[in-house]
Chains A and B, each alone.
Chain A
Amino acid sequence: MHPTIDQKALTRQLATAERRNKIKAFLLVLPLLLFVLASFIVPIGSLVWQGGYSDTFANALPETSKLLAAWDAKSPVSEELVKSFVTELKASKLKDPATPTRVATVVNRELSGSVSKFKQVMNASDLASPYKEKLTALNGEWEKPDLWRAMKIVSPSFTPRFYLQAVDLRLTAEGDVKPEGDENAIHLLLFGRTLMVAALVTFFCALLGFPIAYLLAHAETKTSNMLLIIVLLPFWTSLLVRTTAWIALLQQNGVVNDFLVAIGLIDNDHRLVMMYNMFATLVAMTHVLLPFMILPMFSVMKTIKPNLVRAALSLGATPWTAFWKVYFPQTIPGLGAGCLLVFILAVGYYITPALVGGQSGQLISNIIAFHMQKTLNWSLASAIATLLLIGVLLLYWLYNRLVGIDKMKLA
């Protein structure tokens, strides 16, 4: 028997010996960790946060917010509320001259026309007690509850209204939820269309990408290098150029139509409409995203031993059975990774469909961009984006359940 060793002392020695290495290793990954934190986790966190939080109104008009919260949204507004509103709005300009406009913009989203009414208040110099009467004298709208109801909706900082709006629902001043009016309800439709387009593009990419990846993986090195360059070529040109090239090809006076007319397949007066419709969206997006499908499949196929198919053939399997039962199952990690990649990218695509897809090219990401850039309603944009993110995460989860994420192989 060995003499008993002091286990604890041994563990301690090991820890001391390893500590330096651990610290070194940690320092090495620290920059990446910070980068990921700063560029990924924080923005996504703020995205989710912003979708449910908007304090423009409450910050500028804190007292008014409290009074609005207490108000029942039906009875006539109190003099106290009006006074607080006028004085706080005027006061907010002192801190930052843009604040009243910003507050007005927020209210304007619930009730169009509010901006000019706020401006009237800002420009009026003789607002004093009794505020309610003076305000009514300025504009009759102030006597009606509508403006105040709009303010009541936007006054809480934490609010579900953006998330509700993202699924075509509206919050009322009473705190109820009602469906969005027909002419404005669009988000659910676009979520559906986006998922459909992404699924179709993924399908076509897989269909086209599989043989190419196969060729790449099993051709001679010289040929496959050449093919790989051709596959990667689109990456070297800008997205807009590629998209524009499709316009040049597919439009009515485009190359494809000219060719078909020239060989007499179609009549000059009946040129095919291939542009500004779903067809163009699918063609252009499939082209743009194809490399993302090919590369992971290629890298997986490259590792599949050619012996496996030979073994299957030697065991009596027909070439189709050998492919379908032996080769194809091995490609699933690559195919899965490619599909996931293409699908996620396709969900977020909006420039290409917007340029070539016409009406049908309007996808949910266009709405996000629209609210980011045009209406500056970042909270709504965040809410929609968050829902999209959740949808993608759900798919990711599904993928993990079906294929297993540990089996995913990227290029």
Chain B
Amino acid sequence: MLRGVGPDNRSDEGREEINMTVSTQSGYVVFDKVEKTYDGRVLVVKSLDLTVARGEFLTMLGPSGSGKTTTLMMLAGFETATGGDIYLDGAKINHIPPHKRGLGMVFQNYALFPHMTIAENVAFPLKVRNISKADAESKVRKALEMVQMAGLEGRKPAQLSGGQQQRIALARALVFEPKLLLMDEPLGALDKQLREHMQYEIKRLHETLGITVVYVTHDQSEALTMSDRIAVFNDGRIQQLASPDELYEKPQNSFVAQFIGENNQLRGVVKDILGGHARVEIGSSGTIEALAIQAEIGKPTIVSVRPERVEIEPASSDIAAIGRIEEVIYLGDHIRLRMNVLGNSEFIVKVRNGSNRRGFAVGDEVKIGWSLNDCRALDV
């Protein structure tokens, strides 16, 4: 239901138009042409437009330095936007100090107050709001139960494990029922297993409480697991804003295609475009067809195909090619083949490790193929 709010971003013009209407009306959090520079020369956030709906779990994903954390800090009030406006629930908040914004925030490395007990930490936001002691106590208890940390009230943060500390930080950020929960790479310091576990935990909390969450991470799998929508940041701009599946299936440019999931890239030149289908000449090795997403006739392009969408010896396929196996890697649930396809020796194919699998040997030449819908001609 939430996804409907997000703009359908097939084309740039369309997105622009929809954003303009959304930004002033239905958005819970709205960034309107927001800019930020630290040194007066380089913009780290460039004319950012972003709308988050009430109850949505939106993730800002991107490599470090892409502007995602700065955007979050502007929303939290720790950084001032040097251009544009930020709205929360219809009100402009550019000049409201952080402590008056009423946002819950979970930080990288938890930021628990080391000199306070767990109970004191969680009670802190209630205490500064002058909530009566009895009320506060019951709220703290509920919050700790919510994150399954009841019984640790008297301990100090240093006595807890990383995962436990993160749960406490979450409880503390939620205990005062904030309008919005901001999370800045909250799971970055945890080990893989715990991280995955916490992802589900956070997702569950989001669903139970129905709270709006803006989440920052550089880990794509985290983003895919938890988000309603993901904004992929690079170079101070949102490269694509879409649901996880759309982002994965239909990357709008080669950065997104490469950043989200694994991706085979075949460089070539667009020969012609017919009915949304581009014919791309890959070096001298041949020509393949691809969906023309960002392609112009006569211009270079990158054709992107996901490794798991490539079939070995398909009965029939839109695109067919011959691949010579260069390397075989056994990964248990699947087998990873590195092939030379159309002169590109970094071409990866993932083969499901089923009971009827055939054997592969380096040097074998196999027929491969994929569907036209999985093959997108993108910008260089």
Q: A307-B107, A318-B99 are in contact. Are A312 and B129 (CB under 8 A)?
A: no
Q: How far, in whole Å, are A411 and B218 apart by their CA atoms in the complex?
A: 36
Tally of contact residues, B, Cβ under 8 A = 27
A-B pair count, CB < 8 Å, reads 67
Q: A315-B172, A315-B173, A318-B128 are in contact. Are A308 and B113 (CB under 8 A)?
A: yes
Is the beta-carbon distance between B124 and A317 smaller than 8 angstroms? yes
Is the beta-carbon distance between A307 and B111 smaller than 8 angstroms? yes
Is the beta-carbon distance between A329 and B99 smaller than 8 angstroms? no
Q: A307-B107, A310-B78, A310-B107 are in contact. Are A316 and B125 (CB under 8 A)?
A: yes
Q: A316-B99, A317-B99 are in contact. Are A311 and B114 (CB under 8 A)?
A: no
Instruction: Tell me, rounded to whole Å, the shortest Cβ–Cβ distance linking A316 to chain B.
Output: 5
A321 at interface by CB-CB < 8 Å: yes
A326 at interface by CB-CB < 8 Å: yes
A313 at interface by CB-CB < 8 Å: yes
Is the beta-carbon distance between B128 and A321 smaller than 8 angstroms? yes
Residues from chain B with Cβ under 8 Å of A307 in the complex: 107-109, 111
The dominant DSSP class at the B interface is loop
Interface 0/1 of A297-324, CB less than 8 Å to B: 0000000010110111111111101100
Is the beta-carbon distance between A316 and B107 smaller than 8 angstroms? no
Tally of contact residues, A, Cβ under 8 A = 19
Residues from chain A with Cβ under 8 Å of B125 in the complex: 315-317
| Residue in chain A with minimal CB distance to B115 | A329
| Residue in chain B with minimal CB distance to A311 | B111
Residues from chain B with Cβ under 8 Å of A315 in the complex: 99, 104-105, 124-125, 128, 172-173, 176
Residues from chain B with Cβ under 8 Å of A310 in the complex: 76, 78, 98, 105, 107, 111
Segment 283-311 of B: residues with Cβ below 8 Å from A: none
Segment 86-106 of B: residues with Cβ below 8 Å from A: 97-99, 101-105
Residues from chain B with Cβ under 8 Å of A313 in the complex: 77-78, 97-99
| Residue in chain B with minimal CB distance to A318 | B99
Q: How far, in whole Å, are A201 and B297 apart by their CA atoms in the complex?
A: 80
Residues from chain A with Cβ under 8 Å of B114 in the complex: 330
Segment 166-203 of B: residues with Cβ below 8 Å from A: 172-173, 176, 182
**Which residue, A308, A310, A314, A318, has most C-beta atoms of chain B within 10 A?**
A314
Q: A307-B108, A321-B128 are in contact. Are A314 and B103 (CB under 8 A)?
A: yes
Instruction: Tell me, rounded to whole Å, the shortest Cβ–Cβ distance linking A304 to chain B.
Output: 9
Instruction: Tell me, rounded to whole Å, the shortest Cβ–Cβ distance linking B26 to chain A.
Output: 26
Further contacts, 9 of them, CB under 8 A, given A315-B104, A316-B128: A307-B111, A308-B111, A313-B78, A313-B98, A314-B98, A314-B101, A314-B103, A316-B129, A319-B99
Binding site for B on A (CB under 8 A): 305, 307-308, 310-319, 321-322, 325-326, 329-330
Identify 12 residue pairs between A and B in the complex whose beta-carbon atoms are under 8 Å apart, listed by A's number. A305-B111, A307-B109, A311-B111, A311-B113, A313-B97, A314-B98, A315-B173, A316-B99, A316-B176, A317-B99, A317-B125, A329-B113
Binding site for A on B (CB under 8 A): 76-78, 97-99, 101-105, 107-109, 111-115, 124-125, 128-129, 172-173, 176, 182
Across the A-B interface, the 3 shortest Cβ-Cβ residue pairs? A315-B125, A314-B105, A311-B111
